[in-house]
Amino acid sequence: MIPRLVSSVSPCIPPPSLLLRRLSTSPPPITPRYILTYAYPPTILSDRVPHRPGHVSLAKSYKSKGTLLYAGGLSPPLPTPDKDTPVEGVFLFTNEDDAREFVDNDPYVKEGVVEEYSVREWACVVTPE
């Protein structure tokens, strides 16, 4: 009996269709986002009281604009007995200009509630979009 020829391509070489797929596959797109972080003092809960309505209103305006995706307080590293007092504020923006503009207009910064802040670019590879 003569063996049947199944493929003329060596089993060590992938078929041309797979080679083309591999060549055309590019790395996932990187979506730049910008993380604004605020360092809060231990007295943040009392210090923020008179300025919180303006701060939250400003955040909501950027959310409505579509450039602030998430915002909130970050508790100390766990485990901690005082997880209700935030040590940092974290804001995720779609662009650097709006993150910096937010800082310039935020009552927390203007009134000295925030000890320091930073804006950093975050290269998002896995996103919900």
Strands across the sheet with 116-124, in order? Answer: 68-74, 88-93, 31-39, 116-124
CA distance 103 to 55: 10
pTM: 0.74
Q: Give residue 5's pLDDT.
A: 42
Low-confidence ranges of the chain (pLDDT < 50): 1, 3-11, 19
- Residue at token pair 């910096």: 100
Report pLDDT for 10: 45
According to the model, what pLDDT value does residue 129 have?
Answer: 63
pLDDT of 28 reads 66
Q: What is the DSSP string of the chain?
A: -PPP---SS-TTS--HHHHHHHHH--PPPPEEEEEEEEEPPTTHHHHTGGGHHHHHHHHHHHHHHT-EEEEEEEPPSSS-TTTTS-SEEEEEESSHHHHHHHHHH-HHHHTT--SEEEEEEEEESS---
